[in-house]
A = this chain, B = another copy of it.
Amino acid sequence: MSKKNIQVLLVRRPQGWVQESDFRLVETELPALRNGEVLVKHLYLSLDPYMRGTMNDAKSYQAKVELEQVMRGGIVGVVEASRHPNFQENDLVSGYLGWQQYSISTGQDALGRNIRKLHPKAGIAPSLYLGVLGMPGVTAWIGLVSISQPKAGETLVVSAASGAVGSVAGQLARIRGCRVVGIAGGKAKCDYVVNELGFDACVDYKAGHLAEDLARATPVGIDIDFENVGGEVLEAVALRLNPLARIALCGLVSEYNEIAPQGFRNFGALLTWRIKLQGFNVGDPDSLKLWPQAQSELEQLILAKKLTYRESIVNGIEQAPGAFIGMLKGENFGKQLVKLT
């Protein structure tokens, strides 16, 4: 009995903002499983800002997605059939298996990495391996613990503070004794950041007086900037940096859809205040070594209910393009997922 598989292909490279028409949904028939292959039924697809970069025809640390190919993306799924010695029916797995309902592979994902088997402890939902316990959570941990090296009493600012990465980075910094100030878009997100995530303050960049509000929220300046946004947000932060401050450069979501990004106009602050900035990625060789330590701390915090997270879930693979575009515009709230079953 053959199965249908709906896939999302990249069919056009966006100039500027992504359009739904840059994607095309296709329904294909899954072929019969051959020796050495595993069939995975996808439960959740992760949508993340980095994906915007894979749509470009540009030299980058991440390979681009070819036109007419399935969009790359991390999923959590369940093995539905296996002719591969390492996998058995009902195994819970994770990997970069793409924007689709099913995948057939030889046990490696689109990045050439082995598909990982998951063994969630009681109380851990599988979707968390795409969020707080997966790439975004580990990104937050590495950017904070390894790159920023926070000390108790320091002031940390994190942009996109209600997002999958920012929310974890800020909470981890609070646990380490920092004063934590979020930057987010709109009152609802800022209320969430302060009241539910427990940040000391949150500045609404949409309120129209970012520099003044940030100055008020950081009376003794900024020691660490966990940067997810760039552009005007970064430039406001630069005005408040203390000497010898650090910037963990994790994302520049304000730039991803700009044809001519403004860049960093008051970049001179990095010289004036002798700032240490580091761009990083969770897939770097140095980062990959830290995954077990990061995931272990995050899992313990989740089980102890010391880490709050929020998921923003749409239903059905057909919703993926629209939800992705919304996320790039900041319309999501917390980790953006597509539920596929």
Mask, A276-290, CB within 8 Å of B = 1, is 111111001000000
Say yes or no: A61 contacts B278, CB within 8 Å. Answer: no
Known pairs A243-B61, A274-B61, A284-B274; A265 contacts B262 (CB<8 A): yes
A271 CB contact (under 8 Å) in B244, B251, B265: B251
Taking the full assembly, how many copies of this chain does it contain? 2
Interface of A, secondary structure class, is loop
Which residues of B have CB within 8 Å of A264? 263-264, 267
A267 CB contact (under 8 Å) in B61, B230, B284: B230
A252 at the interface (CB under 8 A from B): yes
Q: Interface residue tally of chain A, by bracket?
A: 20 to 34
Cα(A265)–Cα(B281), bound, Å? 21
Known pairs A61-B243, A263-B265; A252 contacts B279 (CB<8 A): no
A6 at the interface (CB under 8 A from B): no
A249 CB contact (under 8 Å) in B265, B270, B278: B270
Mask, A236-262, CB within 8 Å of B = 1, is 000000011000011110010000111
Say yes or no: A279 contacts B275, CB within 8 Å. Answer: yes
Residue of B nearest to A262 (CB): B265
> Which of A20-62 touch B at CB < 8 Å?
53, 60-61
Which residues of B have CB within 8 Å of A274? 61, 278-281, 284
Say yes or no: A271 contacts B279, CB within 8 Å. Answer: yes
Can you name 30 A-B residue pairings with CB atoms under 8 Å? A60-B272, A61-B273, A61-B274, A230-B267, A230-B268, A249-B270, A249-B271, A250-B271, A251-B271, A252-B267, A252-B268, A255-B268, A260-B265, A261-B265, A261-B267, A262-B265, A263-B263, A263-B264, A263-B265, A263-B267, A270-B279, A271-B279, A272-B279, A274-B279, A274-B280, A275-B277, A276-B276, A276-B277, A276-B279, A277-B278
Closest A-B pairs by Cβ, 3 of them: A263-B265, A264-B267, A271-B279
A interface vs B, CB < 8 Å? 53, 60-61, 230, 243-244, 249-252, 255, 260-268, 270-281, 284
